[in-house]
Every structure is written in structure tokens, then in C-alpha cells.
Amino acid sequence: MSFCNIIGHENIKLQIKNSIASSRFSHAHIFVGEDGIGKSLLARETALDILGKKQVKQYVDIIEFKMTKGKKSIGIEEVKNIIQEINKKPYEGDRKVIILYNSDKMTEAAQNALLKTIEEPPNGSFMLLLCEKLDGILDTIKSRCQVYKLNRLSQKDMNIFLNTKFANLSSEELKPVLAFSDGIPGRAEKFISDISLSEMRNIILNVFKESCHEKFNSYLKLSEYISKDNYEWQEVLTCILSYIRDVLVYKETGNRKFIINIDKFEDIKTIGEMFSFNKLNDIINIVKDAREKLECNVNRTLVFNSMLVKMQEV
């Protein structure tokens, strides 16, 4: 398997490919990275390579475990099912691969229950654990796994991904997609397919435009939007910062060709006339402060409401 379907992550792909080819691929691995970064795609192609399969399709010896819908954690009962499956002999050959999604959502008890299997796996079995953050994984498990940290794609790789995946879109149409994705392919796909993100972009623009007139309708709408369980706070902050970046660039150069959110050019011009450089820099610092708090798992609703109040006061 050449990992030809995966753009970016070259060092990780090479490391996996070489270790499998030389029979040095260990039995337990952790793929860690943000949602949409490519963990599942990389894990599936790794599984194909382990089994020596060339065709991308479902195989009985590649078993994927996902967190039960509606649950917020993976408990002991789910892990018992995983252990039971691992201990079954492969059907087609002498190897079997288990892919466990959201492994950082396992409870401590569940992880301890899985530990013995990771330490002493059945012959021919391989475990690929996928997670967004290593913090949720016990040190005893991390120390027994090969860890691969997937970083955001470079702008060059993102351009290759977008031009390959969305060849029908023009370069101007792809500009805002590139800005919103922030190096994460899954976000780019979501930006194009999810109508609610278009609504979010418009709400954020109105937040800027209304702030100088002491109107709060858009602030309330944005606060309501970010309170939903299915939103990603990174997407909101990325969108805010991309607009500020465009406003700063336009104020500095007056040239539209450098604008990323080109579909919102007239709004960018309007906001540029409303905000000074100092105010825009103040907002950037407010957003950065909010990001730091959210990364430390401070309550997101409180953080965003505080951020919006501070932005309104600038």
C-alpha cells in the first residue's frame, strides 16, 4: 500500500510503510490529531497494509469500534467486546486489525481493562487507537504504544487536497475554504457541505458590523450557535481571525487580491472603515485569550460569552 489516497503526513506514512515492510511494526499504535486531520483514513490504509491488501474495501479482519451514539464515554462493557473480538482468530489470513475510535473517551476503568490485552496481545493482532488528545490516555497505555502525532497540513498540501477533491471550484471559491479549514482537510469538506457554517460566517460578520452601533442581535445569535453540542469552537475562532486578517490586509494594501474571504469582500471593506488597527489588534488578543482558556477545558459557553462582551466593549 502506497498511502496514495492520503495527502500530507509524509514522515508518518514512510515510517509505517517501512516498519510493516521490514516486519518491525509493533502490535499497538496511537494516532492522535484534531478531528478531520486524517486519522481514520491513515488507520484504514495502515490496516490494509498490515493485511497485505491492495483494494480499498471492507475486510472481515479489519474491525472498527466506535463510541455508541448518545454516549460520552467508552466503558468496561464496550472494552470487553473489543477484547473478545481481539481474541478471535482471523478469518482470512493470520492477521487481524482492530481500529478503536475516540480512544481518549475510554473511562479509566475501561483503559485498565484493556491494558493487559495491549501488553500481551494474541499473535497476529494489531490495535490502532485514534484520539484527538493524548491527555485522556493513561500513561501505562501510551508507554506500550507507538504514538503518531498528525499535524495540520501545509498550505501546499491543502491546495493539493482541495484541487483534487473539489476540482470544479474556482481558485476564488477555494480561498475561503482554505482559510476556514486551517490545515485540516475534514474542515474543508465540512465548509463546503454544511449549510450551517455559511450561517455562522454571516452571523460573525454581523457581529462586527453591529458592534459599532451597539446592537446585540448577532451577539445573541452567535452565543446561541456556539452553545449547540455539535459545533467546534475552533471553527468559530478560525472564522473570526480570518475576517480580522482580511480587514487588516485590506486596510494596509487596499488590494482585493490578497483577501481570503473574497466572497465577503464588500463586508470586509465596510468593517475596515469601522475599526481602527488598534481595535482589530485588541480583538485578536481577546480571541487568543479565549483560545487558551478553551484549550484548558474551561466552560466553552462562559468563555465565548465573555469573549463576545469584551469584543463589544473594544
Number of domains in the chain: 2
Q: What pTM did the predictor assign?
A: 0.78
- Give 140 or 205, the one with higher predicted confidence: 140
- Is 234 a domain residue? yes
For residue 42, pLDDT over 90 is answered with: yes
The residue out of 112, 128, 149 marking a domain boundary is 149
The residue out of 117, 149, 181 marking a domain boundary is 149
- Is 187 a domain residue? no
- The answer to whether residues 29 and 136 belong to one domain is yes
Residue 178: CB atoms within 10 Å: 19
Q: Which domain holds residue 254?
A: 194-313
Torsion of CA 181, 274, 251, 200, to 10 degrees: 10
- The answer to whether residues 142 and 36 belong to one domain is yes
pLDDT, tens only, 213-259: 666 666 677 777 666 655 578 888 888 999 999 999 999 998 888 88
For residue 207, pLDDT over 90 is answered with: no
For residue 89, pLDDT over 60 is answered with: yes
- The answer to whether residues 109 and 218 belong to one domain is no
The pLDDT value recorded for residue 67 is: 87
Strands 146-149 and 96-100: unpaired
Distance CA 175, CA 280 (A): 22
- Is 208 a domain residue? yes
- The answer to whether residues 43 and 143 belong to one domain is yes
DSSP code string of the chain:
---TT--S-HHHHHHHHHHHHTT---SEEEEE--TTSSHHHHHHHHHHHHHT--S-S--TTEEEE-PPTT-SSB-HHHHHHHHHHHTSPPSSSS-EEEEETTGGGB-HHHHHHHHHHHHSPPTTEEEEEEES-GGGS-HHHHTTSEEEEPPPPPHHHHHHHHHHH-TTS-HHHHHHHHHHHTT-HHHHHHHHH-HHHHHHHHHHHHHHHHHTTT--HHHHHHHHHHTSTT--HHHHHHHHHHHHHHHHHHHHH--GGG-SSGGGHHHHHHHHHH--HHHHHHHHHHHHHHHHHHHTT--HHHHHHHHHHHHHH-
pLDDT, tens only, 167-199: 888 888 888 888 888 899 998 898 888 877 778
8 Å CB contact between 243 and 268: yes
- The answer to whether residues 129 and 200 belong to one domain is no
- Is 102 a domain residue? yes
8 Å CB contact between 130 and 34: no
Question: If pLDDT is split at 50, 70 and 90, which confidence band does 87 have?
Answer: very high
The residue out of 149, 167, 182 marking a domain boundary is 149
- The answer to whether residues 19 and 145 belong to one domain is yes
Distance CA 314, CA 307 (A): 11
Distance CA 261, CA 23 (A): 48
Q: What is the CATH number of the domain that holds 213?
A: 1.20.272.10
8 Å CB contact between 259 and 246: yes
- The answer to whether residues 143 and 200 belong to one domain is no
8 Å CB contact between 83 and 117: yes
98-102, 232-236, 260-264, 269-273 — which is least confidently predicted?
A: 232-236
- The answer to whether residues 201 and 128 belong to one domain is no
Q: What is the CATH number of the domain that holds 134?
A: 3.40.50.300
- The answer to whether residues 134 and 16 belong to one domain is yes
- Is 177 a domain residue? no
- Is 238 a domain residue? yes
- Is 1 a domain residue? no
- The answer to whether residues 31 and 127 belong to one domain is yes
- The answer to whether residues 309 and 198 belong to one domain is yes
- Is 63 a domain residue? yes
- The answer to whether residues 36 and 113 belong to one domain is yes
